[in-house]
Amino acid sequence: MSHNSAPTPLTSSMGSPLTGTIRVPGDKSISHRSLMFGALAVGRTTVKGLLESEDVLATGEAMRAVGAKIEKHADGSYTVDGIGLGGLLEPEHVIDFGNAGTGVRLTMGIFGSHNIAATFVGDASLSSRPMGRVLNPLREMGTNVIARDGDRLPASIRGAEQALPISYRVPMPSAQVKSAVLLAGLNAPGETTVIEPIPTRDHTEKMLKGFGAEISVSLNEAGERVIKLKGQPELKPQDIDVPGDPSSAGFPLVAALIVPGSDITIENVLLNEHRTGLITTLIEMGGDIEIANRRETGGEEVGDLKVKASRLKGITVPAERAPSMIDEYPVLAVAAAFAEGDTFMPGLDELRVKESDRLAAVARGLEANGIPCVETEDTLTVTGGATEIGGGTVTTHLDHRIAMSFLVLGMAAHKPVTVDDGAVIATSFPTFTSLFEGLGAKFSSSASEAA
C-alpha cells in the first residue's frame, strides 16, 4: 500500500464488551534492529516474531540493497545472512523508506560510516520530517550530505572513507538520534561516546551488546547517561524471538479500559523500563491492569497484561515520563476522554515532529468528537466525561497512531467515529482490525454503514 494512494475511510462504533486473549505484533523497534544488526554480523541470524509491517519490511529491503541476504521461511521466521561491518555494497537504486522514520534514520547512521553513496526517499509524511538531528552528527563523523532545504528527504549521503569517532551530546530526548550515532560509530576506529541527558529507550545498547559489541553505559556527575562504544567489532549472529510491541499493545489496553464490561489478556508484551510509561500512567489513573508471567527473553523483560474495564480519573502525567511513552500519547488522550476530570500532559514538544504534528492532530481529533481539550506548544489538557462523545471524522495526516487511537475512541463513544484513512494502519499494525474484531469490536468502511 502506498501512502500516496487514495485514502480509505474507516469507522468504528460501540459493539459488545471486548473479551479474549491476544498477541499484538512483534515490537517494531526490535524488529528494525534485528534486521540491521543481523546484516552487520558475520553469519546467519534467525528472527522469530518479526513485525511484518511496511516500516520493517522497508528496512529489510535497505539491508538487502547493501548485500545482506534476508529470507522468510514456511514457519514465519526469517534468516539474515550478514555481510559484516565494513562489507556493505553500494546500493544500485534509490532506497524508499515509505513512512519509516526509525528505519531511515538508523540506516543513515549505518551507511554514514561506510564509504558508499546512497539516496533515501519516503512518502509525503516522511519527506516533511526533520533529518538534520541525525545528519548533523554524521557530518561531524565525515559523512557528506545533500538534502532538501531543512535537511528533509530526498537526501543523498556518501559515507566517510574513514569515519571519525565523536563524543556527542544528544540535544533532545531521541532514541533514533542516539542510535544513529552509535550505529555510525560501529564502523569508526576508536571510541564513540553518546551523552544522553534524558534517558530514552535502550534497545540499541542492549541488542548491540547481545551481538557482541563492546559497549558500556554509566552515569556522569550530572546524572546523564554516558554510552561508550568501541568501534569495528566483529558482530556475532543471534537467534532472536521478538516480543510484542508495547506501543501496539496500548490500543487494546486502552480499549479494554474504556469499553464497559471488557476483560482481555495481552500476551508476551515487551516490558522494557523505557517503554512502560503508558502502563504506569493508566494504573495511576485507576486502570485495572495486572502484569502476569514476567520473564526474560533476549535480554528484555516480557509479560502478559490482564486488563479489565475501569473507572478512570484524570491525573497530571510527569513530563519526565514522556520519552518512555512518546508514541502512546494519542491513545492516552483517548483514555483521558473517558476519565473523570482533567488529564494534563506536559513535555510533548517531540510530538510536533512525529509522522504528523501529532499534538495538533490529537487535539483536532478530540475537538471533532466533542471532547474538550486545551493544546499549547508542548502540553495537552483533556477534560473527560463529555455527555456526547463521537460523531466526528478525524484527519489522520498519514499517521498510523492517530488512525488507531481514534478508532479506539469509537469503540466506547456514544456515536461512531471515522478516520479519513484506515490504510495507513498497515505501517505498524497490519492485523489491527482483524485482531479487534476477534475481541468484539465493530468496524465499517463508511460512516453511513455504522450509523
Packed helices 400-412 and 432-439: angle between N→C axes, nearest 10 degrees: 20
Strand partners, 446: none
| Three-point CA angle 154, 155, 160, nearest 5° | 165
In whole angstroms, how far apart are CA 418 and each of 33, 77, 259, 287, 402? Answer: 34, 35, 17, 26, 11
Is 327 catalytic? The answer is yes
The number of C-alpha atoms within 13 Å of 177 and in the hemisphere containing its C-beta is 24
In whole angstroms, how far apart are CA 231 and each of 179, 183, 205, 220, 285? Answer: 14, 9, 14, 22, 45
| Three-point CA angle 437, 439, 444, nearest 5° | 25
Whether 433 and 8 have beta carbons less than 8 Å apart is answered as no
CA distance 249 to 265: 10
CA distance 451 to 445: 11
CA distance 71 to 81: 9
Neighbours of 323 (CB within 10 A): 21
Neighbours of 367 (CB within 10 A): 14
Catalytic residue among 327, 342, 399, 420: 327
Closest CA to 404 of 362, 353, 345, 375: 362
Q: What is the largest CA-CA distance in the chain?
A: 63
Catalytic residues: 327
